[in-house]
Amino acid sequence: MITGIITFLIIFAVIGSILYGLKLAKTEKIDAVFGNPERAKGGAHWIIVGSSFLLIAWLYYSWDLAKSFYPQSANELCQVAKVNDSMLSLKYLFPINEREFKSTSIIKAENKNIEKLANEIRNSSTIRNQDKDKLLDFIKKTKRTIPLLTNEILLENKTKIKLNELTNRIIGLTEDFQKISYPPKKTIEEENKRIEALKTQGGWGSSGTAVENTIEIPTIPETKKGLKFDAAAKELIFISDDFFKLRNHNTQYKTLIKEIKDGIKKYRSELDETHEVASILAKDVLKIARRIEYASIFPPKTLNDMEQAILEFDKVQKKEQGGLRLIDIFLFPTGTIISSGPNCSEQGSGRWLPKPSDTLKKFTLLLKPSVGFKNIPLIWYEMMDVSKIVGFILPDWIADIIPGKYPIHSNDGTVKPNFKSKVLNVVTGEFKLFKIPVPMGHIWDSFLRVLLGLVLGIIFGVPLGLLMGLNRFAKGFFDPLIELYRPVPPLAWAPLVITVFGIDNVGKVFLLFMVSFSIMIISARAGASGTQLSKIHASHSLGASKWQILRYVIFPNSLPEILTGVRVAVGMCWGTLVAAEFLAGTTGIGFVENVAKKYFQYEVIWITIFVMGMLGLLFDIALRKIITKTIPWHGKG
Partner 1 sequence: MKKIISFILGTVVALNLSISVANAAAKEVRVAFFLEWPTPNQEDKVKGMFEKAMGVPVKWTNFSNGGAMTDAMLAGDIDISYSQGLVPFINAVKSKAPLKLVDVAMEYGMGGTTCVTSKASGITSANGSELEGKKVAVPLGTMAEYVFDESMKVVGADKSKMTVIQMDPEEGAAALVSGDVSMACLFGGNSIKAALTVGTRLLTVQAARDAGIKGIDITSVTDKFMKENPGMLRTFIEVTHEANARYAAGKSDMNVIAKDAEMKLGDMKETLGGFVFLNAADTKKSMESGGNLDGFLKGMGTPNGAVDTSFLPL
The DSSP output letter for 434 is -
Shortest CB 296 distance to partner 1, Å = 9
Q: Judged by CB, which is closer to partner 1: 345, or 529?
A: 345
Per-residue binder mask for partner 1 (CB under 8 A), 590-629, x = binder: -x--xx-xxxxxx---------------------------
Encode 239-253: b = buried (16+ Cβ within 10 Å), e = exposed.
bbeebeebbbbbeeb
Q: Which of 557, 472, 464 is nearest to 519 (CA)?
A: 464
Q: How far is the CB of 510 from partner 1 (least distance, A)?
A: 15
Q: Which stretch binds partner 1 (CB under 8 A): 290-298, 392-400, 558-566, 626-634?
A: 290-298
Contact 494, 436 (CB under 8 A): no
Q: How far apart are CA 478 and CA 482, in angstroms?
A: 6
Binding pattern for the stretch 300-329 against partner 1, x by CB under 8 A and - elsewhere: -----------------------------x
* For partner 1, the closer CB: 101 or 313: 101
Considering the complex, what minimum distance in angstroms separates the CB of residue 295 from partner 1?
A: 6
Each residue 66-105 as x (binds partner 1 by CB under 8 A) or -, in order, gives -------------------x--xx--x----xxx-----x
Beta bridge partners of 336: 347
Question: Which residues make beta-bridge pairs with 438?
Answer: 382
- Mark 227-256 with x for binding to partner 1 (rule: CB under 8 A) and - for no binding: -----------------x------------
**Minimum distance of partner 1 from residue 107's CB (angstroms):** 11
Per DSSP, the chain holds a count of helices (H) and strands (E) of 27, 4
- Answer yes or no: are the C-beta atoms of 260 and 138 closer than 8 Å: yes
What residues between 501 and 520 interact with partner 1 by CB under 8 A? 502-504
Nearer to partner 1, 313 or 591 (CB): 591
**From candidates 346, 358, 445, 561, binder to partner 1 by CB under 8 A:** 346
Return the exposure string of 128-141: e unless at least 16 CB atoms fall within 10 Å of the residue's CB, then b: eeebbebbeebbeb
Among 215, 311, 433, 609, binds partner 1 (CB under 8 A): 215
444/446 Cα distance (integer angstroms):
5
Report, in Å, the least distance between residue 299 CB and partner 1.
Answer: 19
Q: State the Cα–Cα distance between residues 198 and 522, nearest whole angstrom.
A: 65
Q: How near is the Cβ of 595 to partner 1 at its closest, in Å?
A: 5
CB of 201 to partner 1, least distance (A): 13
Among 62, 49, 593, 51, residue whose Cα is nearest residue 356: 62
Residue 567 C-beta-side C-alpha neighbours within 13 Å = 14
Using CB under 8 A, pick the residue from 375, 410, 414, 541 that binds partner 1: 375
527 close to 558: Cβ distance less than 8 angstroms: yes
Helix (H) or strand (E) holding 343: strand 343-348
Strands 435-440 and 343-348: unpaired
By CB under 8 A, the residues from 99 to 138 that bind partner 1 are 99, 105, 109-110, 113, 117
What is the CA angle 132-138-144, rounded to 5? 135
Which residues contribute to the site for partner 1 (CB under 8 A)?
85, 88-89, 92, 97-99, 105, 109-110, 113, 117, 212-217, 244, 284, 287-288, 291, 294-295, 329-330, 333-336, 338, 340-343, 345-348, 351, 374-375, 498-499, 502-504, 583-586, 591, 594-595, 597-602
